[in-house]
Amino acid sequence: MDTLGLFNYWVVIFLMMAGFYTVIARGNLVKKIVGLNIFQTSVFILYISLGKVSGGTAPIVSDAATAYSNPLPHVLILTAIVVGVATTALGLALIIRIKEAYGTIEEDEILAMDQKDEGRE
Partner 1 sequence: MLGLTAMTIIRLRSLFAVVMLFSIYSLLTASLFMVLDAVDVAFTEAAVGAGISTMLMLGTLMITGYREKRPAHSPILPLIVVVLTGAVLVWGTLDMPHFGSPDQPVHQHVAPRYIDDSPKEVGIPNMVTSVLASYRGYDTMGETIVVFAALIGVLSLIGIKKYTNKEPGRTEKPPESILQVAAKLLIPFILLFALYVQFHGDFGPGGGFQAGVIFAAGIILYALTFSLKDAMHLAPPKVVKVIAAFGVLLYGGTGIVSMLKGGTFLNYSVLAHDPIHGQHYGILLVELGVGLTVASVMMLIFYAFVSRGEAD
Residue numbers 55-94 binding partner 1 by CB under 8 A: 56-62, 67-90, 92-94
Closest approach of partner 1 to the CB of residue 69, in Å: 4
Q: How far is the CB of 118 from partner 1 (least distance, A)?
A: 20
Residues 23-42 that bind partner 1 (CB under 8 A): 24-28, 30-31, 33-35, 37-38, 41
In whole angstroms, how close is the CB of 112 to partner 1 at the nearest point? 10
Distance CA 91, CA 29 (A): 9
8 A C-beta contact, residue 42 and residue 52: no
Residue 78 to residues 28, 47, 73, 84, 92, Cα–Cα distance (Å): 29, 11, 8, 10, 22
Q: Which is nearer to partner 1, 55 or 119 (CB)?
A: 55
